[in-house]
Structure 1
């Protein structure tokens, strides 16, 4: 819980700083056409899997808010706060699913390669909300067997269709072993279990 509160405090501070900077810039340079700080919403599809678990990918949902902060002509920083539903699905016709839910905080560094096209990369800090193995009509809790924090690196790109609406893709590779050492999740495994998530979605800037 302390990590979650710390992450939320960090993001709240970032948003407050961004808003303060935007207000200050508008007050001191009202006639300039420099890029402005923009807030927005984003949502889309996750296709996720877990390394060393011999499981198939599963689909999930992500959604949340972001602030885009220009730092140079073609560069910006974009902190986000997202709900992330990830995990994996058992092979062999079974409907068993390992469902992991995170509050994720990506901080993307974006470069505008073309007027409407950008590429991005940056770290992602994720805080576990819940972990469950769903099998037929039964559900087993796995939160105690799962690490409460996950760190990853994201790489992606986006295209602005209009001034306000855009589409984006991103792959986030987890670098942390998400399973606590004394647990196996009920599956044989060798090596670390890491999240791997491909995202595709839309965003709206205010």
Structure 2
């Protein structure tokens, strides 16, 4: 985690010295699908399929038509379900732990050349602000997975999602004429998504890391 934060800090320190041309900024819209999970939080633990959509800015860096800063603002679905492989019929298999965020990824984006149609890569942090949390069908054996349930014998244990999460993402994609772009991305959470579940499941003390694999389409206006 410390290495990723250091790399992110060094990257954006370098950006501060780059020649950024705000006057040539282009704007766009994006939409896509997310496949999310949370490490070490619930038992059973499975993937959640959800969506993302939002807006972006493409800000040139330098004189070449190759390197850009790409901040975005998105509705971003994450969380997980109980549909762990091999757990069908188990208490909590039908559970849904839905976390919906206002998300702000800030990416350094580099095209592989100055060609109009070209592959690109991007890297950068993501900041998530919780909009809503919904829990359905929490396991009977662990009712505290539901944030609205308080167990008197476990007053400090709860399934509430942290209102602010952050992570780091890597992506790869293809741009058609610098206007229609397809992006695949992996975001790895660096903060504790469920601080009230520090000893779940089964005595674990590992951080509850939210992870998302996404596929999105961007349309960048001329």
The TM-score range, normalised by the shorter chain, is 0.7 to 0.9
- 1:141, CA displacement in angstroms? 4.6
Cα deviation, residue 38, structure 1: 1.0
Alignment of 1:128 onto 2:122: no
Q: What is the CA distance between 1:144 and its match in structure 2?
A: 7.6
- Structure 2: where are the runs of 5+ without partners? 1-20, 139-145, 149-157
- What TM-score do the two structures reach when normalised by structure 1? 0.75
TM-score, reference length from structure 2: 0.70
- How far apart, CA to CA, are the structure 2 residues paired with 1:178 and 1:50? 8
Among 139, 158, 172, the alignment partner of 2:173 is 158
Are residue 175 (structure 1) and residue 190 (structure 2) matched? yes
Structure 1 gaps of 5+ residues are 1-19, 23-35
| Count of equivalent residues | 171
Q: 1: CA distance between counterparts of 2:200 and 2:98?
A: 14
CA-based RMSD: 2.4
Q: Is the alpha carbon distance of 1:185 and 1:135 closer, same or farther for their aligned partners in structure 2, counting shifts above 3 Å?
A: farther
Q: Distance in 2 between matches of 1:68 and 1:134?
A: 39
Pair 1:88-2:80 in alignment: yes
Q: Judging changes above 3 Å, is the alpha-carbon distance between structure 1 residues 187 and 132 closer, same or farther for their aligned structure 2 residues?
A: farther
Structure with the larger strand share: 1
CA distance in 2, matches of 1:62, 1:95: 23
Match of residue 27, structure 2, among 10, 16, 39: 39
Q: What does 1:18-29 align with in structure 2 at a 5 Å threshold?
A: 21-22=22-23
2-side partners of 1:43 and 1:127: how far apart?
Answer: 19
Is contact 1:145–1:185 with CA below 8 Å preserved after alignment? Answer: no
